[in-house]
């Protein structure tokens, strides 16, 4: 089985980082993985997105026109990518910055106020981790506990960031239950 996850937002939101964490987690589980980053020349503030393909077989091509899932951290990303998501996929919307829904009734739409939750935790910089936690809790594309270990490994060189990122994952998981 193959799953494709599109992460999209603007530069500086940690879009590529959460895509990388998901890819790392899937690799740790023994899956075949492709991680395809893309960002505009502006980097911070410009458009950033990445696609993660997870499969139990070799991946023929990492380029996918219609991904199964979407995490949209800003409105332009939602408007651009929501129409191409496959039916029955999970669409996580950062409702702190996006005041609209995807307009789709054939997907599992999850409105997560990621920036607001992150602010309550002490830093809006972990909004991406909140969204990732919500997505994995809802979609179950990878094991949540294994992802926690991968997040710890990601921040191992900056140990002081581990507690807030663990709290952000757990807050995202809780937000996924609220629908």
Strands 69-72 and 108-112, bridge-based pairing: unpaired
What mean pLDDT, rounded, does the chain reach?
94
How are strands ordered across the β-sheet holding 32-39? Answer: 32-39, 47-55, 2-10, 69-72, 90-94, 108-112
Which domain covers residue 69, as residue numbers?
A: 2-177
pLDDT of 62: 87
For residue 85, what is the domain's CATH number?
Answer: 3.40.920.10
| Contact by Cβ (8 Å): 86, 132 | no
pLDDT of 11: 83
- Retrieve residue 35's tokens: 């991680």
pLDDT of 128: 98
pLDDT of 45: 62
pLDDT of 166: 97
Helix H or strand E segment including 16: helix 15-28
Residues of the chain with pLDDT under 50: none
**Which bin fits 69, alpha (ψ -120 to 50), beta or left (φ > 0)?**
beta
Give the three-state DSSP class for 50.
strand
Domain count, the chain: 1
Distance CA 106, CA 88 (A): 6
């Amino acid at each position: 089985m193959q799953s494709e996850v599109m992460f999209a937002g603007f530069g500086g939101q940690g879009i590529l980082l959460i895509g990388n964490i998901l890819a790392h987690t899937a690799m740790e589980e023994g899956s075949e993985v492709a991680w395809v980053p893309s960002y505009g020349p502006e980097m911070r503030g410009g458009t950033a997105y990445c696609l993660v393909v997870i499969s139990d077989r070799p991946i023929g091509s990492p380029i996918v026109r219609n991904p199964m899932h979407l995490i949209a951290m800003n409105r332009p990303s939602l408007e651009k990518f929501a129409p191409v998501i496959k039916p029955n996929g999970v669409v996580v919307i950062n409702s702190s910055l996006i005041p609209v829904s995807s307009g789709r009734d054939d997907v599992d739409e999850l409105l997560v106020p990621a920036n607001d939750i992150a602010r309550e935790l002490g830093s809006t910089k972990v909004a991406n981790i909140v969204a990732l936690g919500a997505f994995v809790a809802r979609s179950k594309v990878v094991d949540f506990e294994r992802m926690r270990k991968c997040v710890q490994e990601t921040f191992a060189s900056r140990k002081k960031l581990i507690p807030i990122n663990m709290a952000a994952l757990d807050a995202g998981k809780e937000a996924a239950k609220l629908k």
